[in-house]
C-alpha cells in the first residue's frame, strides 16, 4: 500500500482514491497496529519533507523543526513529568501529616514545614513545636492519655476513609483507566495495541490527583508504577501536539518508551535505571535513537525534580544511603537467603493476587469497587495505626530500614547499648549489643511484615491507582533488616564461631543491617517484577557506589531463579494475561516443533479462506463478505482457481473506500465490478462503471511457506511487528496467520486456555 501511489495514477479512469480519504491509516480501538506499515508511512512523510525542504527557505525551516521536534517533545515530557512528580511528593507530604494533625500558622504546611518556622531550633524539640497540633490537642486539648489516643486513631481512620472515597469516586466517574499501576497496559500499548483514552488527558489529571490521595492515606501501595503511567500520559499529550507523532502510532510509541524512562527516573531519582527499565521491562521496539532520547528525557525529568527539591535535601534519590563498612564474602550466604525469600514472596504474591483479581473479574465482587476500596481502607487503617512501622508512610519506613545507625540516630531501631567508654566517632561505630528498643522493633517489624504481605495482595488491582514497587520493597526491607539485625547480634555475641572468626573481630563494625534491608528490598522487587539489570542499576544509583553491586546482584539473580522455577510470568505479564491482551513477549522463547500449516486458518474441515479476486467481484459481493465475516482483512488473489496471491486489503479501508466511492464517485452501484489491477478489466458494454481500489491494496503482504517452523513465524511477528501473515505453498495461497492465532497457539502449547487471548 505504501507505494501504491508510485504505480497508480496513470490509468485512464479518474482515480479519486489517489487522494487520501479521512481516517485511512488509523486503527480501531482494541486492535493491533502494523509496525511495518507505520514505519513505511513515516518514511514517506520524511521523504516528502526532505524533498520539499529544497523548495523554499520556509520549507527548509519547517523540515528543521520537524527534525528537532523529537527533542522538543522529550524536553517537554521531562519538564512536566518532573514537575508533576515534585507536586505529588509535596502534596503527599502534606496530606499524610494531615491525618495526624494540622499546622496552626498555615493549614497547608506539612508537619516539617510547620516546625521550620518555629522557634524551637534544637534538634530534639523540633518535632514538638507548638504550631503543629495533633487532632486531639486541637479538638479536646489533650495530647497524652487514652482518650487522646483514641481520638487521634478515629481521626486517622476518618481521614483515610474520606480520602479513599474521594479517590475511588473520582476514578469511577471521570477516568476508569486511571486505576491500577498502569504498567501492564503500557507494556501492551507499547507492543502495538490501541487502547483509546488510556493515556488521555483525563486519565493524566485524575491519576495525578487520586495518586496523592491514595498514597497519603496509608494503603499498602506506592506511587512508582502510577508515575510511569502519568509520565506516559504526558508523553501522549505532547506527542499529540506534533503531527509527526500524533499521526503515526509507531512513532508515538517511541515517545512513550522515553516517557516511561522519565517516569522511573523521577520515581526513584535514577535516570540510567529508568532508561534500562524502559528497555528491559516496558518497551517493545526500542531503537538506539530512542535510547538516547529516553536518556535525555530521564535526565531532564530528574533535574526538574531536583530543582523542585521535594525532599528538602537536594538529593535526587528517594532513599539516599551511605554505608561506612564494606561487605564480606561470608555475608553472601544471608544475601542469597534473602534472594530465596524474595523469589518465594514473588511467587506467592503473583499467585494470590492473580487468583483474587480473577475472582473479582468473574464474581459479583467486581460490581462493588467503591465498597471494596472502603472496606480494605478501613481494615488497613484500623490495623495499621497501632503499629508505628505500619502507621508511618511506606517510603518513610523503607528509608528508616535502609539507614545505617549513626551516632546521631535516635530511632527505635538504633537503640543499641553503647559502651560508656566509647568516644563516639561519628562514622565508625563498632557492632554493639541490641537494646530494648531493637527487640521491641523486631516483633513490631514481624507483625508489620505479615500485615504488609497479606494486605498488599488484596490492595493491588483495586480500582484506584496503586503501585507495587514500594510495598514489595517494604516487605523485602523488613525481612532484610530483621535478618541483618540477627546476623549482627550473632556476630557480636559469637565472635569466636568459625563463620565469623575470619572477618569480624570484637570492636569492629562488621555488619550493616541497613544493607541487608536494601538487599532484601531488591530481592523482593525482583521476585515480583523479574527485573534484573534495571533493578541492580536503580539500586546502584541509590547507593552511588559499585561496592554493593555484588550483594544486590546475588540477591536479584537468586530471586529471579527461584521465582522463575515456579512460573515464568512476572506480575505485569500475569496481569496482561489475565486481561487477555494480545501481547507477544520478547522474553518468551517458543521451542515447539509446529509448523505454520498447523496454526494457519482455515483449519481442516473449516470453510475455505475468504478471499477477494483481483477483477471479478462486484461491490455487493464484497459488502456481503464484509457483513458476513469479521476478519480484519482479505487476501486478494488473481482468481479463485489459481489462488495466486497479489496483495492484501484491510477490512477497515475497504469499508471506507466503498463508502467514499458510493458517496462521491458517480456511477458506482452495487453491481459495479471492483478491481485491484492497474487497468480496468474488460467488461460488457452495458455494465456499470467499475471501481478501482488499487490504492488500498497492500502489494507487499508478508508471506511464509506452510513448512515454515512456528518458531520462525513467532520471531517474524515479534521482530517485524506484523498483524497478519499469509501462508503459501509453491506460490499458492493456503491460509492466514494473525497475531491472535500465534498467541493462541503459544498459549495452547504452554497448556493454557487459548481462549484467554481476547483481542486481535
Please report, as residue ranges, which positions from 647 to 686 form the binding site for its own copies (by CB under 8 A): 647
CB of 7 to its own copies, least distance (A): 7
Q: Can you tell me the distance from the alpha carbon of 431 to that of 253, in angstroms, rounded to the nearest whole number?
A: 52
Is 291 a binder of its own copies (CB under 8 A)?
yes
Cis peptide before 602 (omega within 30 of 0): yes
By three-state DSSP, how is residue 552 classified? helix
Cβ proximity to its own copies: between 11 and 437 the closer is 11
Minimum CB–partner distance for residue 14 and its own copies (Å): 23
- Choose between 231 and 275: whose C-beta lies nearer to its own copies: 275
Do 412 and 440 meet the contact criterion of CB atoms below 8 Å apart?
yes
How far apart are alpha carbons 54 and 63 in whole angstroms?
Answer: 10
- Minimal distance, residue 539 CB to its own copies, in Å: 12
Residue 392 binds its own copies, judged by CB under 8 A = no
Which helix (H) or strand (E) is 661 found in, with range? helix 651-664
Among 341, 701, 738, 759, binds its own copies (CB under 8 A): 701
**Virtual CA dihedral for 350, 355, 356, 360, nearest 10 degrees?**
130
Nearer to its own copies, 2 or 348 (CB): 2
Strands 612-613 and 633-637: parallel
Q: Please, which residue, 60 or 202, has the CB nearer to its own copies?
A: 60
Q: In 3-state terms, the chain is what percent helix, strand and coil (to 5)?
A: 60, 5, 35
Binding to its own copies in span 407-446, by CB under 8 A = none
Q: Which of 196, 361, 644, 659 binds its own copies (CB under 8 A)?
A: 644
Tell me how far, at minimum, the Cβ of 701 lies from its own copies, in Å.
7
Sign of the alpha-carbon dihedral angle for 528, 532, 536, 538:
negative
- Nearer to its own copies among residue 24 and residue 626 (C-beta): 24
Using CB under 8 A as the binding rule, the residues of this chain from 705 to 744 that contact its own copies are 705, 707-709, 711-712, 715-716, 719-720, 728, 730-733
User: Which residue from 406, 388, 405, 407 is spatially nearest to 397, judged by alpha carbons?
Assistant: 388
Q: Which is nearer to its own copies, 589 or 628 (CB)?
A: 589
Q: How far is the CB of 96 from its own copies (least distance, A)?
A: 27
Residue ranges in 307-346 that form contacts with its own copies under rule CB under 8 A: 316
> Minimal distance in Å, beta carbon 544 to its own copies?
6
- Count of Cβ atoms closer than 10 Å to residue 138 Cβ: 14
Select from 109-117, 161-169, 224-232, 540-548 the region that touches its own copies (CB under 8 A): 540-548
State in Å, rounded, how far the first CA of the chain is from the last one. 21
Taking the least distance from each CB to its own copies, the nearer of 92 and 302 is: 302
User: Quick one: which segment of 299-307, 408-416, 491-499, 684-692 binds its own copies (CB under 8 A)?
Assistant: 299-307
Question: For every residue of 314-374, which 3-state class applies, written as one string?
Answer: CCCCCCCCCCCCCCCHHHHHHHHHHHHHHHHHHHHHHHHHHHHHHHHHHCHHHHCHHHHHH
Joined grid coordinates for residue 241: 501536539
Q: Among 704, 734, 742, 746, which residue interacts with its own copies (rule: CB under 8 A)?
A: 704
Query: Which residues make beta-bridge pairs with 595?
Result: 709
The CB-of-532 to its own copies minimum distance in angstroms stands at 5
Q: Single out the residue of 302, 384, 401, 483 in contact with its own copies (rule: CB under 8 A).
A: 302
One residue of 308, 374, 549, 656 binding its own copies per CB under 8 A = 549
Kindly provide the residue ranges of all beta strands, DSSP E only, lying in 487-594, ordered along the sequence: none
By CB under 8 A, residue 598 contacts its own copies: no
Phi then psi for residue 180, to 5 deg, are 75, -170
Q: Which of 15, 24, 46, 683 binds its own copies (CB under 8 A)?
A: 46
56 makes contact with its own copies (CB under 8 A): no
Contact positions with its own copies (CB under 8 A) in 448-507: none
- Return the residues of window 217-276 that contact its own copies according to CB under 8 A: 271-272, 275
Judged by beta carbon, residue 199 or residue 554, the one nearer its own copies is: 554
Task: Tell me: does residue 640 bind its own copies (CB under 8 A).
Answer: no
Residues in the chain: 760
Q: Pattern 518-537, binding to its own copies, x per CB under 8 A?
A: --------------xx--xx
Q: Does residue 540 interact with its own copies by CB under 8 A?
A: yes
d(CA 180, CA 207): 10
Report if residue 292 touches its own copies, rule: CB under 8 A. yes
- CB closer to its own copies, 352 vs 557: 557
Instruction: Write down the least CB distance from residue 186 to its own copies, Å.
Output: 17
Q: Which stretch binds its own copies (CB under 8 A): 440-448, 494-502, 547-555, 742-750?
A: 547-555
Q: Least distance in Å: CB of 276 to its own copies?
A: 8
- In the chain, the largest separation of any two C-alpha atoms, in whole Å, equals 114
- Give the one residue of 38, 93, 224, 280 binding its own copies; rule: CB under 8 A: 280
Span near its own copies by CB under 8 A; candidates 201-209, 438-446, 567-575, 638-646: 638-646
Give the binding-site size for its own copies (rule: CB under 8 A). Answer: 73
Cα distances (angstroms) measured from residue 516 to each of 39, 325, 479, 487: 48, 13, 8, 10
With contacts defined by CB under 8 A, name the span among 148-156, 539-547, 652-660, 685-693 that binds its own copies: 539-547
Pull the grid cell for residue 367.
460490581
Residues 207, 212, 217, CA angle at the centre, nearest 5°? Answer: 125
What phi and psi values does residue 568 have, to the nearest 5 degrees?
Answer: -75, -20
Interface with its own copies includes 43 (CB under 8 A)?
yes
Read off the C-alpha cell for 503: 572477618
Rg of the chain's alpha carbons, rounded to an integer?
Answer: 31
Nearer to its own copies (CB atom), residue 179 or residue 649? 649
Q: How far is the CB of 427 from its own copies (least distance, A)?
A: 17
Cα–Cα dist 298/307, whole Å: 14
Binding to its own copies in span 566-595, by CB under 8 A: 586-587, 589, 591-593, 595
- Contact between 546 and its own copies (CB under 8 A)? yes
Say which residue the cell 481521614 belongs to. Answer: 159
Q: CB-wise, 129 or 279, nearer to its own copies?
A: 279
- By CB under 8 A, name the one of 32, 210, 703, 724 that touches its own copies: 703
Beta bridge partners of 691: 674
3-state secondary structure of 637: strand
CB 312 within 8 A of CB 279: no
Residue span binding its own copies (CB under 8 A) among the ranges 32-40, 429-437, 463-471, 668-676 = 32-40
Least Cα distance to 616 among 560, 571, 680, 522 occurs for: 680
HSE of 693, CA atoms in CB hemisphere, 13 A: 36
Amino acid at each position: 500500500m505504501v507505494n501504491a501511489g508510485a504505480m497508480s495514477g496513470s490509468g485512464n479512469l479518474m482515480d479519486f482514491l489517489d487522494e487520501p480519504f479521512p481516517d485511512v491509516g488509523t486503527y480501531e480501538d482494541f486492535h493491533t497496529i502494523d509496525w511495518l506499515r507505520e514505519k513505511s508511512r513515516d518514511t514517506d512523510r520524511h521523504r516528502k519533507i526532505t524533498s520539499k525542504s529544497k523548495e523554499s527557505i520556509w520549507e527548509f525551516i519547517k523540515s528543521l523543526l520537524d527534525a528537532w521536534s523529537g527533542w522538543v517533545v522529550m524536553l517537554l515530557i521531562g519538564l512536566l513529568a518532573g514537575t508533576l512528580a515534585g507536586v505529588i511528593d509535596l502534596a503527599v507530604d502534606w496530606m499524610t501529616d494531615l491525618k495526624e494533625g494540622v499546622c496552626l500558622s498555615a493549614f497547608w504546611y506539612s508537619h516539617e514545614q510547620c516546625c521550620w518556622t518555629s522557634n524551637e531550633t534544637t534538634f530534639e524539640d523540633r518535632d514538638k513545636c507548638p504550631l503543629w497540633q495533633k487532632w486531639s490537642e486541637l479538638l479536646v486539648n489533650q495530647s497524652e492519655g487514652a482518650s487522646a489516643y483514641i481520638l487521634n486513631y478515629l481521626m486517622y481512620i476518618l481521614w483515610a476513609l474520606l480520602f479513599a472515597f474521594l479517590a475511588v469516586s473520582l476514578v469511577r466517574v471521570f477516568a476508569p483507566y486511571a486505576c491500577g499501576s498502569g504498567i501492564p497496559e503500557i507494556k501492551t500499548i507499547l507492543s502495538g495495541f490501541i487502547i483509546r483514552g488510556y493515556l488521555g488527558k483525563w486519565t493524566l489529571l485524575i491519576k495525578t490527583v487520586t495518586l496523592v490521595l491514595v498514597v497519603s492515606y496509608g494503603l499498602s501501595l506506592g506511587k512508582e508504577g502510577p508515575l510511569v503511567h502519568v509520565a506516559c500520559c504526558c508523553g501522549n499529550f505532547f506527542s499529540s501536539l506534533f503531527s509527526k507523532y500524533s499521526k503515526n502510532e509507531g512513532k508515538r510509541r517511541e515517545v512513550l518508551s522515553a516517557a516511561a524512562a522519565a517516569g522511573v527516573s523521577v520515581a526513584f531519582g535514577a535516570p540510567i535505571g529508568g532508561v534500562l527499565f524502559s528497555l528491559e521491562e516496558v518497551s517493545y521496539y526500542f531503537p538506539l535513537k530512542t535510547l538516547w532520547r529516553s536518556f535525555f528525557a530521564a535526565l531532564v525529568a530528574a533535574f526538574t525534580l531536583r530543582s523542585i527539591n521535594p525532599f528538602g535535601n537536594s538529593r535526587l534519590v528517594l532513599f539516599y544511603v551511605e554505608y561506612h563498612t564494606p561487605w564480606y564474602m561470608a555475608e553472601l550466604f544471608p544475601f542469597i537467603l534473602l534472594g530465596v525469600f524474595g523469589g518465594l514472596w514473588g511467587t506467592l504474591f503473583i499467585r494470590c493476587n492473580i487468583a483474587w483479581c480473577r475472582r473479582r473479574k468473574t464474581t459479583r465482587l467486581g460490581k462493588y469497587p467503591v465498597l471494596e476500596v472502603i472496606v480494605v481502607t478501613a481494615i488497613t487503617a484500623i490495623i495499621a495505626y497501632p503499629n508505628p512501622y505500619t502507621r508511618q508512610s511506606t517510603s518513610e519506613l523503607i528509608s528508616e530500614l535502609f539507614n545505617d545507625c549513626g551516632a546521631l540516630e535516635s530511632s527505635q531501631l538504633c537503640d543499641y547499648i553503647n559502651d560508656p567508654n566509647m568516644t563516639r566517632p561519628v562514622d565508625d561505630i563498632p557492632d554493639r549489643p541490641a537494646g530494648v528498643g531493637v527487640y521491641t522493633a523486631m516483633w513490631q517489624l514481624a507483625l508489620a511484615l505479615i500485615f504488609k504481605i497479606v494486605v498488599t495482595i488484596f490492595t493491588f488491582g483495586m480500582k484506584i491507582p496503586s503501585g507495587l514497587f514500594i510495598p514489595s520493597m517494604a516487605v523485602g526491607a523488613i525481612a532484610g533488616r530483621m535478618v541483618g539485625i540477627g546476623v549482627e547480634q550473632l556476630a557480636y555475641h559469637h565472635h569466636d564461631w568459625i563463620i565469623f572468626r575470619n572477618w569480624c573481630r570484637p570492636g569492629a563494625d562488621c555488619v550493616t543491617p541497613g544493607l541487608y534491608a536494601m538487599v532484601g528490598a531488591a530481592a523482593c522487587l525482583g521476585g515480583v517484577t523479574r527485573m534484573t539489570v534495571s533493578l541492580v542499576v536503580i539500586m546502584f544509583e541509590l547507593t552511588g557506589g559499585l561496592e554493593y553491586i555484588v550483594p544486590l546482584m546475588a540477591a536479584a539473580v537468586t530471586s529471579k531463579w527461584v521465582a522463575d522455577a515456579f512460573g515464568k510470568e512476572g506480575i505485569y505479564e500475569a496481569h496482561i494475561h489475565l486481561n487477555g491482551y494480545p501481547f507477544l513477549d520478547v522474553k518468551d522463547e517458543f521451542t515447539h516443533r509446529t509448523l505454520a500449516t498447523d496454526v494457519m486458518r482455515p483449519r481442516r474441515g473449516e470453510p475455505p479462506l475468504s478471499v477477494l479476486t483481483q477483477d471479478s467481484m462486484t461491490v455487493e459481493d464484497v459488502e456481503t463478505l464484509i457483513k458476513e465475516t469479521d476478519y480484519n482483512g482479505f487476501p486478494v488473489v488473481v482468481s479463485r482457481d489459481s489462488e495466486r496471491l497479489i496483495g492484501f486489503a484491510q477490512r477497515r479501508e475497504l469499508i471506507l473506500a466503498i463508502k467514499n466511492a458510493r458517496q462521491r464517485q458517480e456511477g458506482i452501484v452495487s453491481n459495479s465490478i471492483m478491481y485491484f489491477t492497474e487497468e480496468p478489466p474488460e467488461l460488457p458494454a452495458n455494465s456499470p462503471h467499475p471501481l478501482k481500489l488499487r490504492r488500498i491494496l497492500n502489494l507487499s503482504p508478508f508471506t511464509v511457506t506452510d513448512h515454515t517452523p512456528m518458531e520462525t513465524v513467532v520471531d517474524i511477528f515479534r521482530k517485524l511487528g506484523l498483524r497478519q501473515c499469509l501462508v503459501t505453498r509453491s506460490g499458492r495461497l493456503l491460509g492466514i496467520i494473525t497475531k491472535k492465532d500465534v498467541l493462541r497457539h503459544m498459549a495452547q502449547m504452554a497448556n493454557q486456555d487459548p481462549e484467554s487471548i481476547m483481542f486481535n
